[in-house]
């Protein structure tokens, strides 16, 4: 483009970002390697899309080169794809009419990208990889499951697979590096020939190709001149290892993330990854500083700042921040449950079109009593109390994946008819199951197939296949809670990550509940007083639990409400509680 055309596009971008200097600094930065600290509600997606448009305009992605955009979450990847497809043509309207955004960008999650590599070159490693879409996914988390699935596999080989899976989750970098060849060898010799593939192997086999065939690696390094990673804090070691291969000395790099939203540590997200990457890849750090979500709500704006400040200076308030929050403490769980129900109904009456999420740290007697109170009062709600490590939730996603792949073996065209057949098959499998989790997941499956043809009709058939497989492989059906018609959603915080509702209620804000016993309270020496004092021994646990708290609070687009009770229900009766240390963060005032 000419300087005059670039100037016009810059003016459009500046108008779109309305004087947000930090966003504009990211978009127009001459630095080729950037790390953007982007909290929830700070305009990250708009900034990312405008940066891509600007790079295209100034010729940083010359034909036939591309920008590679990656993320951990399949849902996030396709939201980016949708935003890019819609908004970049608007910014570049009238210029370079020959530009096809699909020709300039490739947007996927890590596994989706690796699939594209294996479809092209995987046959070098094993002929089965040429038909990757129809290979069944293997749960390699337990040796006994592997041996039941593959009758002739030895216990030693089954252990190789399960131990490697555990090492990914437990972030054992040395073990992963030292055992990747052995892991890949078992996959190739024992699993691929049975027309199956483990989830982690999609990445490890891609790494094997890059290690053993430098020409293939060189092609991808030169083809993708710019590497963009969103939600960078959720990256696990295998994905980070993959990035280290893809990023060459010539690569432009843009990582976006928020260290305070890292809540996937239990499935392998690397701690302190943003600071590690900043040093290793020599990235310039820019922190977005305007919260647009709470711009008109000073108390929520201050609460956001208080939580973020405590990630840097735990239980200190050097900036003298102050937030008045609605926090009610009741004599017992029975009373709290009733008041939570009453509060949800008050919100519904005052704001009839609004949606309310009641978020719990985990399942247990307390949140179950709230559910019983909703049921007793015949108030409808959606049951979203499942997590990524919930066996029932995991099995449902795996069955969905298995049956979809079986359908692909008959017909590779993704149609509404295929979607209906898939839903009917899963309902048939669970015809005798009426647990709240299964009922909820069947409802989400219906929504998933409906939204596929509504929101992603622009995708090619191959992209639709990848989206469906990635969703089930990543246990991502929970992300479709955002499309529920139900006005009240009861969910775990982990299931709610990436989603938003108008109003959020956080009950059970008590010691041993939020934060819970396993996450922090068992490590704290303060006992029943809950007079929290940070020390080196518990700082890591505190920050991990604070991240979950921050994610919970920032699921609200308008307002969050807190409650607690002086006695908590347990399997053995009740016992007295003290309210959560998170409600004692300096600067929080109760109203």
Q: Give the pLDDT confidence score for residue 100 in this predicted structure.
A: 67
Q: Give the pLDDT confidence score for residue 304 in this predicted structure.
A: 93
The total of other beta-carbon atoms located within 10 Å of residue 590's CB is: 12
Cα separation, 485 vs 382, whole angstroms? 9
Q: Give the pLDDT confidence score for residue 569 in this predicted structure.
A: 62
Selection from 287, 231, 239 nearest residue 263 by Cα: 231
Cα separation, 62 vs 55, whole angstroms? 9
| Packing angle, helices 461-473 and 110-121, rounded to 10 | 120
Q: Give the pLDDT confidence score for residue 269 in this predicted structure.
A: 65
Q: Is 440 exposed, middle or buried (0-12, 13-18, 19+ CB in 10 A)?
A: buried
Token pair belonging to 564: 């607690």
- Measuring CA to CA, how many Å separate 253 from each of 55, 105, 241, 409? 12, 14, 15, 39
Asked if 22 contacts 289 with a C-beta cutoff of 8 angstroms, the reply is yes
Selection from 492, 407, 392, 406 nearest residue 442 by Cα: 392
Q: Give the pLDDT confidence score for residue 263 in this predicted structure.
A: 59
Q: Catalogue the E-assigned strands of 110-223.
A: 136-138, 196-198
Q: Give the pLDDT confidence score for residue 249 in this predicted structure.
A: 92
Selection from 155, 175, 154 nearest residue 164 by Cα: 175
**φ, ψ for residue 232, nearest 5 deg:** -60, -30
Q: Which long-range contacts (CB under 8 A, 24 or more apart) does 102-106 make?
A: 103/63, 103/64, 103/66, 104/56, 104/61, 104/66, 104/67, 105/52, 105/61, 105/66, 105/67, 105/68, 105/69, 106/66, 106/67, 106/68, 106/69, 106/224
Q: Give the pLDDT confidence score for residue 66 in this predicted structure.
A: 86
pLDDT tens, per residue, the chain with 591 residues: 778 888 888 999 999 998 899 999 999 999 999 999 998 889 998 999 899 888 988 888 877 778 999 988 777 787 888 888 788 888 887 765 556 676 788 888 899 899 999 999 999 999 999 999 889 888 888 898 899 888 889 999 999 999 999 999 888 999 999 999 999 999 999 999 999 999 899 999 999 999 999 999 999 999 999 999 998 988 899 999 999 999 999 999 999 998 887 755 545 667 788 888 999 999 999 999 999 988 889 999 999 999 999 888 888 888 999 999 999 999 888 899 999 999 999 999 999 999 999 999 888 888 889 999 999 999 999 999 987 778 889 999 999 999 999 999 998 899 999 999 999 999 999 998 888 999 999 999 999 999 999 888 878 898 899 889 989 988 889 989 989 999 999 999 988 888 899 999 999 998 888 887 777 777 776 655 666 667 777 778 888 889 899 999 999 999 999 999 987 666 555 666 678 889 989 999 998
Asked if 550 contacts 261 with a C-beta cutoff of 8 angstroms, the reply is yes
Selection from 549, 556, 495 nearest residue 520 by Cα: 549
CA 142 to chain centre: 24
Nearest-Å Rg of the Cα atoms of the chain is: 24
Token pair belonging to 392: 């029932």
Query: For strand 573-576 and strand 567-570, is the pairing parallel, antiparallel, or unpaired?
Result: antiparallel
Cα separation, 164 vs 160, whole angstroms? 6
The residues facing 352 across adjacent strands are none
Cα separation, 227 vs 33, whole angstroms? 9
Is the bond preceding residue 515 a cis peptide, omega within 30 degrees?
yes
Token pair belonging to 40: 């929830």
Q: Give the pLDDT confidence score for residue 448 in this predicted structure.
A: 96
Q: Give the pLDDT confidence score for residue 271 in this predicted structure.
A: 73
Asked if 207 contacts 241 with a C-beta cutoff of 8 angstroms, the reply is yes
What predicted TM-score, i.e. pTM, was given to this entire model?
A: 0.85
Q: Give the pLDDT confidence score for residue 256 in this predicted structure.
A: 93
């Amino acid at each position: 483009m000419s300087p005059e055309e670039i100037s016009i596009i810059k003016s459009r971008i500046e108008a779109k970002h309305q004087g947000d200097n930090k966003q504009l600094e990211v978009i127009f930065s001459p630095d080729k390697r950037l790390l953007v600290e982007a909290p929830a509600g700070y305009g990250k997606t708009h900034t990312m899309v405008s940066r891509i448009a600007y790079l295209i305009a100034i010729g940083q992605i010359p034909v036939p080169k591309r920008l590679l955009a990656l993320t951990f979450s399949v849902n996030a990847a396709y939201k980016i794809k949708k935003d890019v497809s819609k908004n970049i043509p608007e910014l570049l309207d009238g210029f370079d009419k020959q530009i096809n955004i699909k020709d300039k960008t490739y947007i996927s999650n890590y596994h989706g990208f690796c699939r594209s590599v294996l479809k092209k070159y995987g046959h070098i490693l094993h002929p089965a990889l040429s038909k990757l879409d129809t290979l069944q996914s293997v749960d390699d988390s337990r040796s006994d499951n592997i041996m039941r699935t593959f009758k002739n596999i030895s216990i030693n080989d089954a252990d190789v697979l399960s131990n490697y899976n555990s090492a990914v989750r437990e972030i054992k970098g040395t073990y992963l590096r030292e055992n990747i060849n052995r892991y890949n060898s078992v996959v190739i010799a024992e699993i691929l020939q049975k027309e199956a593939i483990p989830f982690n192997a999609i990445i490890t086999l891609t790494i094997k190709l890059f290690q053993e065939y430098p020409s293939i690696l060189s092609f991808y390094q030169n083809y993708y001149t710019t590497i963009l990673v969103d939600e960078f804090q959720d990256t696990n070691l295998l994905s980070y290892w993959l990035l280290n291969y893809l990023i060459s000395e010539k690569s432009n790099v843009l990582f976006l993330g928020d260290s305070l939203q890292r809540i996937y540590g239990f499935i392998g997200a690397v701690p302190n990854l943003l600071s590690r990457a900043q040093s290793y890849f020599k990235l310039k750090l820019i922190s977005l500083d305007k919260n647009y979500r709470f711009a008109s709500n000073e108390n929520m704006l201050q609460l956001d700042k208080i939580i973020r400040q405590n990630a840097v200076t735990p239980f200190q308030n050097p900036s003298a921040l102050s937030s008045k929050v609605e926090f009610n403490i009741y004599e017992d769980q029975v009373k709290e449950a009733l008041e939570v129900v009453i509060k949800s109904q008050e919100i519904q009456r005052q704001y009839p079109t609004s949606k309310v999420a009641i978020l719990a740290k985990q399942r247990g007697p307390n949140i179950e009593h709230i559910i019983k109170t909703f049921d007793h009062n015949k108030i409808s709600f959606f049951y979203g109390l499942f997590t990524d490590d919930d066996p029932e939730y995991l099995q449902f996603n795996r069955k969905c994946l298995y049956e979809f792949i079986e359908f692909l073996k008959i017909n590779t065209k993704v149609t509404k008819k295929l979607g209906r057949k898939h839903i009917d098959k899963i309902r048939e499998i669970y015809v005798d199951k009426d647990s709240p989790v299964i009922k909820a997941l069947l409802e989400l499956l219906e929504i998933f197939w409906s939204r596929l043809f509504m929101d992603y009709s622009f995708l090619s058939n191959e992209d639709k296949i990848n989206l469906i497989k990635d969703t089930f492989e990543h246990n991502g059906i929970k992300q479709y809670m955002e499309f529920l018609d139900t006005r009240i959603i009861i969910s775990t915080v982990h299931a709610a990550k990436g989603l938003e509702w108008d109003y959020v209620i956080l009950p059970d804000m008590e010691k041993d509940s939020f934060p819970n016993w396993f996450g922090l309270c068992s490590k704290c020496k303060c006992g029943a007083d809950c007079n929290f004092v940070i020390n080196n021994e518990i700082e890591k646990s505190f920050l991990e639990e604070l991240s979950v708290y921050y994610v919970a609070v920032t699921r609200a687009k308008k307002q969050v409400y807190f409650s607690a009770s002086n006695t908590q229900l347990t399997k053995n009766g009740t016992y007295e509680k003290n309210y959560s240390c998170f409600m004692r963060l300096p600067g929080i005032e109760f109203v």
